[in-house]
Structure 1
Amino acid sequence: MKRNPFFDNARILLIFLVVFGHMIQPFVDGSRGMNTLYMWIYTFHMPAFILLAGFFAKGLGNKDYIINLAKKLIMPYIIFQLLYTGYYFLIGKADWQASLFYPQWALWFLISLFSWHMLLYWFKKIPAGLSVMIAVQIGLIVGYFGEIGHTFSLSRTFVFFPFFLVGYFITERQIMQVKQKGIKIASVLVMVTLAVAIYYLPAIDTGWLLGSSSYAELGLPAYGGIARLGVYVVATLMVISIMSWVPKSKTRLTHIGSRTLYVYLLHGFFIQYFREADVFEINNALDVVGLGIISAVLVLVLSSKPLLGITQPLMEGKATIMKNAYSGKTSKESAQTKA
């Protein structure tokens, strides 16, 4: 099946926003403008990323499929959990110690992604509408249990699962409906209204968007389910709005869309160093633009072929990129020798 550039373009935009969001996070407190930008990004960037992951999920449950998933997701998780723990110690990060079952920073996504694939084996057997409704109900209920938190990424797994499930059930034709002119016009209103609301409304705890805290921790032990339902609605509207503006045609950068997991796992080494060393500061709008440019450069560098070749053994447990590069070089040298 021919690869649709739209999905790779969407992944590029989203992985840039992941990096940029992590880059500006230290500057959110005390700045209403930075807080607005940060919260605005976080309302949709992970839900959209997860929806796309669900769209490409096969939903198989046989032994070979599960073993292959474990190699792609669990093994890199274990490797990078150890690497990040050691790295945090080296750079002097205060909370560097973590058990294997308490994901370091962004590594929760790997455990949750594996869990979503496992859950899909059962949920795909239920009619789509009912399946999503059940997943939403579970996502609302788990917030009432403080025991379901960051360990094993349980809270985020259940909270974000509805987006993965929608991605699995939705068709390419349905997704492309967001490109309609009417939706694009309405999306501008949605995005601007949300930005204004975040700026002027009382401060909202970012925990509502991260999905890892209980309602009691977020200050709404009784009515947290209603608040999370509102978060689901906002996230859905924003995912539709952002996706409506993603280019459909192939560009010079479209190929990066197939390498976003590398960027996701590797960018933390840079972000955490920047934070611990207090490298950057924001004093005006140009500083924000500068951090955006640095974020874009990080995406380009971390998705480059040379870096992919070096890190592929850690990420995928194989070294096909380096082998192919070496064999290609050897063949070229052999041809030149014969000539």
Structure 2
Amino acid sequence: MQRNAYFDNARLLLILLVVFGHMVQPFTDNSNGVNTIYTWIYTFHMPAFIFLAGFFAKGAGNKEYIIKLAKKLLIPYIIFQVIYSGYYFLLGRDNWMTDSLFYPHWALWFLFSLFCWHILLFWFKKLPPVLGMLVAVQIGLLVGYFGQIGQSFSLSRTFVFFPFFLLGYWVTTEQVMWLRRKSVRIISIFVMAAVAIGIYYAPEIKTGWLLASKSYGDLGLPQYGGIARFMVYITAGIMAASILAWIPRKENVLTALGSRTLYVYLLHGFFIQFFRETNFFNVNSVFDLPLLALVATFIVLLLSSKPVLGVWQPFIEGKMSILKKTLTQKRAGENAS
């Protein structure tokens, strides 16, 4: 698929919010303002990210595609499960050893779920879009009633977030661009502001509803959790649409970094876990957040850089094209001199 600056810009913004959200999380208990920003981000950043992943899943279904996808997602998943286990050991954590490969470390659930979403498409793309969406949402609502479905195999998140992936699969570029209409953008401002105000003044909201990794019983609503999750679906959908309405369509100097978000996603955990383990930052109010925003931006820029890509490409993509190209250019320069 030909690259579109809008989608690269969107992925870049969302991965920045992923990193920033992970940096902010340890300080949510100290300030209602910090907690509001953190929760506000979590209402949309993963649903929007997953929606975009579904949008670019147009080739799903055939055997060759699934094999290629397994190499792209499952092999890095296994590699980083091992790497993060070793990293946690070096940080002195007692729980550095995973129960199994099917209990994802921290953010690695996304790789496993992404592979599963592509597999689910094999059946769901045969259904009419509206029926498929209704079935996907119904499954997402039902799984919360089963306490056995949790973080193992990333099953809970796989089923709960799948409707966003499926929606991304069905929509067209023209339909996404409809969000950028002036009327939609004006409405989105009020939506985003209303959600932020609601989070700030509402009783404590368990972020577990947004993380989608726990059952309704664990979240305190064993009987009426389906209603609560349905409201979360509505909020997440409206918020994701509101954010996407403001993504610039034109290419800029940072647009290309949007094609490197997988590297940032997999590698930023080394920074985040170090910061958390060492209490590197101290944030007591919302006014301390600009520093974290700058650090998050630096991390994204660093992990999107060509040197980092060159070093980690063998682990993430299973090839060494960047290193080979760099060495070839270096030799050519030496021969020329």
Correspondence list, 1:214-253, <5 A: 214-253=215-254
Report the Cα distance in structure 2 between the residues aligned to 1:327 and 1:217, rounded to whole angstroms: 55
- Aligned-pair identity in percent equals 62
Q: Deviations over 1:126-170 (max 9, x none)?
A: 011111110000000000000110001000000000000000000
Report the Cα distance in structure 2 between the residues aligned to 1:152 and 1:18, rounded to whole angstroms: 22
Q: CA RMSD of the aligned region, Å?
A: 1.0
Please say if 1:82 is aligned against 2:69: no
Task: Give the conservation status (yes or no) of the 8 Å contact 2:31–2:286.
Answer: no
Deviation at 1:63, TM superposition (A): 2.4
Report the Cα distance in structure 1 between the residues aligned to 2:206 and 2:130, rounded to whole angstroms: 30
Q: Deviations over 1:5-24 (max 9, x none)?
A: 00000001000000000000
Deviation at 1:270, TM superposition (A): 0.6
Correspondence list, 1:36-185, <5 A: 36-98=36-98, 99-185=100-186
Q: Which amino acid aligns with 1:116?
A: W
The gaps in structure 2 that reach 5 residues or longer are none
Q: Which amino acid aligns with 1:119?
A: L
Q: Which amino acid aligns with 1:166?
A: L
For structure 1, which segment, 308-317 or 62-71, has the greater mean C-alpha deviation from structure 2 after superposition? 62-71
2:271 — aligned with what?
270
Deviation at 1:286, TM superposition (A): 4.2
2:312 — aligned with what?
311
Task: Give the conservation status (yes or no) of the 8 Å contact 1:149–1:213.
Answer: yes
Report the Cα distance in structure 1 between the residues aligned to 2:20 and 2:281, rounded to whole angstroms: 13
SS at match of 1:213: coil
For structure 1, which segment, 172-181 or 55-64, has the greater mean C-alpha deviation from structure 2 after superposition? 55-64
Task: Give the conservation status (yes or no) of the 8 Å contact 2:267–2:303.
Answer: yes
Q: Which amino acid aligns with 1:235?
A: A
94 and 32 in structure 1: CA distance in 2 versus 1, 3 angstrom threshold:
farther
| Pairs aligned (count) | 336
Task: Give the conservation status (yes or no) of the 8 Å contact 1:72–1:316.
Answer: yes
2:8 — aligned with what?
8
Q: Deviations over 1:65-116 (max 9, x none)?
A: 1111111000000000011011011102243221211000000000000000
Task: Give the conservation status (yes or no) of the 8 Å contact 1:57–1:117.
Answer: yes
SS at match of 1:11: helix
For structure 1, which segment, 88-97 or 319-328, has the greater mean C-alpha deviation from structure 2 after superposition? 88-97
Deviation at 1:284, TM superposition (A): 4.1
Report the Cα distance in structure 2 between the residues aligned to 1:67 and 1:56, rounded to whole angstroms: 17
Task: Give the conservation status (yes or no) of the 8 Å contact 1:59–1:124.
Answer: no
Deviation at 1:299, TM superposition (A): 0.1
1:299 — aligned with what?
300
- Alignment TM-score, normalising by the size of structure 1: 0.97
2:259 — aligned with what?
258
Task: Give the conservation status (yes or no) of the 8 Å contact 1:149–1:212.
Answer: yes
Task: Give the conservation status (yes or no) of the 8 Å contact 2:143–2:156.
Answer: yes
Q: Which amino acid aligns with 2:265?
A: Y
Report the Cα distance in structure 1 between the residues aligned to 2:159 and 2:331, rounded to whole angstroms: 50
Task: Give the conservation status (yes or no) of the 8 Å contact 1:59–1:117.
Answer: no
Deviation at 1:317, TM superposition (A): 0.9
The gaps in structure 1 that reach 5 residues or longer are none
Deviation at 1:117, TM superposition (A): 0.3
Q: Which amino acid aligns with 1:214?
A: S
Task: Give the conservation status (yes or no) of the 8 Å contact 2:33–2:285.
Answer: no
Report the Cα distance in structure 1 between the residues aligned to 2:303 and 2:157, rounded to whole angstroms: 26
